[in-house]
Amino acid sequence: MTKNNALNAWIEEIGNHTNPDNIIIWSGSQNEYDLLAEEMVKTKKAIRLNPKKRPRSLLFRSDPSDVARVEKRTFISTTHQESAGPTNNWIAKEQLMPIMWELFKSSMTGRTMYVIPFSMGPIGEEMSRFGVEITDSPYVVLNMHIMTRTGNKVLELIEKGSDFVKCLHSVGYPLMPGDEDPNWPCAPIEQKYITQFPEERMIWSYGSGYGGNALLGKKCFALRIASAIAKDEGWLAEHMLILKLTNPEKEVKYITGAFPSACGKTNLAMINPSLEGWKAETLGDDIAWIKVKEDGKMYAINPEAGFFGVTSGTSYKTNPIAMESIKHDTIFTNVALTDDGDVWWEGKDEAPEHLIDWHGNDWYKGNHMRPDHPNARFTSPLTNCPSLAKEYETPVPISAMLFGGRRPSTIPLIHQSYNFQHGIFFGSIMGSEITAAAIDENIGKVRRDPFAMLPFIGYNIYDYINHWLEVSKQTQEEKLPKIFFVNWFRKENNKFLWPGFGENSRVLKWIFERTNDVQNFIKTPIGLIPNLTKFDLSNLDISKNKLSTLFEVDKNDWAVEIEEIRKYYYNLFGENTPIILKEQLSSLIQRFGN
């Protein structure tokens, strides 16, 4: 066992209750990873990909009932419901704990219980935090090894007294003598529970083996629990990319960005700028922990050690950096398998004539059913990324924060807030228009996703908004990042007006200049937008009419938007809308002269 009595007592308690066949404390060595990976291949739980095509890489196929995060089965459990607020599924602790304890009883029978000490953030960095995940899923162990810093170095610090978050996970599929273990064990949907206990700094997840439900360092710890820790300690845990941008004069700026799903966050984190002389480097594509340091500036660090990205639509055209990052040492989940032992997914390139689909069945070109799952994933180390910034394990000073969404109208390509408090308003109203891609009676309406954190805030959103304000008061306005709202997705005649991808570097250039207070803007009621005579359009084939629409701030459109925001705030907060949001909405109305 370990040299930490509290950890030993917890391991013993969980071991006695879940009844595993044996217990392994994960050392975090590459040899240990390789041996477990080989065991998964031998037992046919994983497929070893062609080493000439995809060296040291694996393919897993999940159960069709276990393919994504299950928000309806994700809970915040606190003493009082008010602590969880209106955006979370809440169950009282005294009600939930007996249910969970009964589910976990003998849940690891016939399995190995792995104890994984892990660090969110570089080991020993002041902004990092530790956790220990107990799990009976080898898939989780392999993925946690990539996504976090695991093993003996973390355990040594825990043994010296460092705090850690207790993370308990089981696939919920005990094995009795004679039982056959399926390739992807999991529990029925109604028995799945992904539960955060912010008051105890504890996570219990039962029944799912997939992604953010089971890799407890990810959304569960790095956002839901970390956001609660951050509230108590005066920092921010955010659903944000971190990007390093260098101009032709070798001046460097660091930018964070929050975007709802399907809004190009990973593509921006790995952007390949089209503008000559500009360089972009990746620090993180998903999560940023942000703290005001002694110099009064906000610093951000990526607490993760890997990428857990969606494969769908990823190609050398859309994201060449991601494609290079997954060429080796990568775990794929629910993609298709090619005849030569490589992987394929929709949007990668031309489909081959034959594939083995994510269910393990033959698939032939022309079949209307896609051979990969829309939420198929890759897990690869940060160090695979060719554009990884050398500072990826160092807190970096943030010059700009971006918020965005998928809006075909109303919102211009880019605008800047008048100040940080106005920027908090930006974060609160971001969202995407519902399309026919989802079965939803609200097609055409905006689904708000404040700060891209709607499923991830570990406490009451009212307090979350006010916490942003309190953190900003730790320093002077001039030292805070400038805040921007981007919208790559404005349309006309159902066609995108902006080319996106590498051309987004033109927007980043304008943002870069604004952080240096270059006078390259014009004022509008919603904020500052580019003065097009000072916006880099060199070698870009785009009409004046398209540009005019891209940057249009239409009073009638915004009258509708303002009313929608007002209704949204009321539906979310009732009579208790945070004062900062009331004031900002009132100021916006006044600037339009309504």
Separation between Cα atoms, residue 219 and residue 205, nearest integer Å? 12
**Cα torsion at 150, 153, 159, 164 (round to 10°)?**
-40
Residues contacting 24, CB < 8 A, separation 6+: 112, 113, 114, 115
CA distance 233 to 124: 18
Residue 72, φ and ψ in degrees, nearest 5: -70, -20
Longest dimension (CA), the chain: 75
- Those residues whose C-beta lies under 8 Å from the C-beta of residue 102, and which sit 6 or more positions away, are none
Instruction: Report how far Cα 256 is from the mean position of its chain's Cα atoms.
Output: 13
Report, as residue numbers or ranges, the catalytic residues: 263
Q: What are phi and psi of 88, to 5 degrees?
A: -110, 150
SS3 61: coil
Full DSSP string of 113-175: EEEEEEEESSTT-TT-EEEEEEES-HHHHHHHHHHSEESHHHHHHHHTT---EEEEEE-S---
Question: What's the chain's Rg over C-alpha atoms?
Answer: 24
**Strand residues in 293-443 grouped as ranges (E):** 298-301, 306-310, 331-333, 336-337, 343-344, 354-356, 362-364, 377-381, 396-404, 414-416, 431-433
Q: String of b and e for 80-102 (b: at least 16 CB within 10 Å)?
A: eeebbbebbebbebeebeeebee
Give me the count of residues in the chain: 594
DSSP state of 90: B
**Residue 432 to residue 419: CA distance in whole angstroms:** 24
The CA distance from 310 to 173, in Å, is 27
- Cβ proximity of 379 and 289 under 8 Å: no
Distance CA 78, CA 66 (A): 27
